[in-house]
Structure 1
């Protein structure tokens, strides 16, 4: 079936990147296979992360089918776009159906994108991960590729106003060496290794990031462990418990 929606969306996204003069850096794109299935497992710091994670697969000329919460598909504007790009709705009350749909996509040779933290990390560190990405990769016999995104939170993240007109923001998209889980492996063990690799990628991106907060009022986007005013992981967990809005 011809791709009628996804390519124009990719073109529009790249045009927006140019208009905003975003300083995009992609490393590790060679880890995305040019044919066959794969799971991209990314950290989650922004409502725009699927755009940038998908951009990381562009050098391999792959279109990524993202697993995203069902409410996005119910939106009158976003919904038709999501369906037109063959993304996969996730209904937390009926998770088996979305898992089966993602597994079928992988077995048919698609690249599937997953945010295993499930929601945006307010601390800008890697939260605990769900094991669905590991289970999917093992069941489909495809590589599981850790991905780190950094800088996207400065455009639009949980608890902050959108700043989609912000220019010259550096954005790091880093893909790590794939894991190759099998159905004989423990999904929990694979997920623990995945989290270690995602954390290492993110830490490296944060420490090498070319921008620093302009002043104390601008330090909200920097993690606490690097001196920023973002919540610590413990504080973020408390915020999530009190205000569990999606993201």
Structure 2
């Protein structure tokens, strides 16, 4: 059985409530293949960078991280915080709102930096949304995780996720039975040392992001036992919408049709 680490920090009422409800539910509904979770530092600010497969993987990833002694702080879309009850719990649990594709998104960057300085484990999905790759491989990444890591000097631990898409397919309905196995693996910190020596320029951010996505993809290859495409999928190049269900027409397209 994989080694685990006991939680050694205060949960707070909101995270405690969520953990006491969600964790037992996931334990019943899923089997867990947890690998190398002790590569997540036991304390201190850290960016956890993970691939995004399903609306359920924030729950299963939080389960993995919690089982290895840390509480996660997510950058969650603003709409979550606008929901009754759920929004209150998310805010009280220290989650970070993100106004995607908006000038207000810079506020989430400041909040993430503050959380890192406070010694928190902040989860980033560098893809920015559930993968649009037809075979669910990690896509081209955005630079937010790299920017926070280079600004704060904190480590970036890559995490690969596979299997949760069988529990809840992207933009689909849940398949609870039979029980699904959730595979999650943490990797060694991404080597960004040479990029920390100078200013955080656009080329530096893109190089750091490429390294982060390469590390995540290598882990996913290991979990899947397959080789990823040589070129990561770019939604913009394929004309695929960046938010929402890519299989549905956007509100703007509906109005113009």
TM-score range for the pair, normalised by the shorter chain length? 0.7 to 0.9
Q: TM-score, normalised by structure 2?
A: 0.79
In the aligned structure 1, how far is the partner of 2:143 from the partner of 2:234? 21
Quote how far apart the aligned CAs of 1:246 are. Answer: 5.9
Unpaired stretches in structure 1, ≥5 consecutive residues? 209-222, 226-231
- Is residue 178 of structure 1 aligned with residue 189 of structure 2? yes
RMSD: 2.6
Post-superposition offset of 1:162: 2.4
1:42 matches 2:50? yes
Cα distance in 2 for residues equivalent to 1:33 and 1:224 = 28
Match of 2:109 among 93, 99, 105: 99
The question of 1:156 aligning with 2:155 is answered no
* Secondary structure in 1 matching 2:178: coil
Residue pairs, 1:23-38, within 5 angstroms: 23-38=31-46
1:145 paired with 2:144, answer: no
Aligned match for 1:109, one of 93, 102, 119 = 119
Cα distance in 1 for partners of 2:189, 2:53 equals 22
**1:65 pairs with 2:79:** no
Match of 1:17 in 2: 26
Q: Which residue in the other structure is 2:145 paired with?
A: 133
Deviations 1:40-79 (A, max 9, x none): 0110001011112222222432101000111111111321
Q: 1:120 to 1:100 in 2, by over 3 A?
A: same
Partners in 1 of 2:110 and 2:245 — Cα distance? 23
Identify the residue that residue 244 of structure 2 maps to in structure 1: 245
Q: Secondary structure at the match of 2:182?
A: strand
CA 1:180–1:235: 2 relative to 1, 3 Å? closer
2:84 to 76, 80, 87: 76
Q: Distance in 1 between matches of 2:14 and 2:243?
A: 32
Gaps in structure 2 of 5+ consecutive residues: 1-9, 247-257
In the alignment, the residues of structure 2 paired with residue 18 and residue 224 of structure 1 have an alpha-carbon distance, to the nearest angstrom, of 30
Q: What is the rounded CA distance, in whole Å, between the counterparts of 1:32 and 1:235 in structure 2? A: 30
- Off by >6 Å, runs of 4+ in structure 1: 234-237
- Taking the aligned partners of 1:45 and 1:199, their CA distance within structure 2 comes to 13
**Distance in 2 between residues matched to 1:3 and 1:25, nearest whole Å:** 27
User: CA separation in 1, counterparts of 2:117 and 2:233?
Assistant: 36
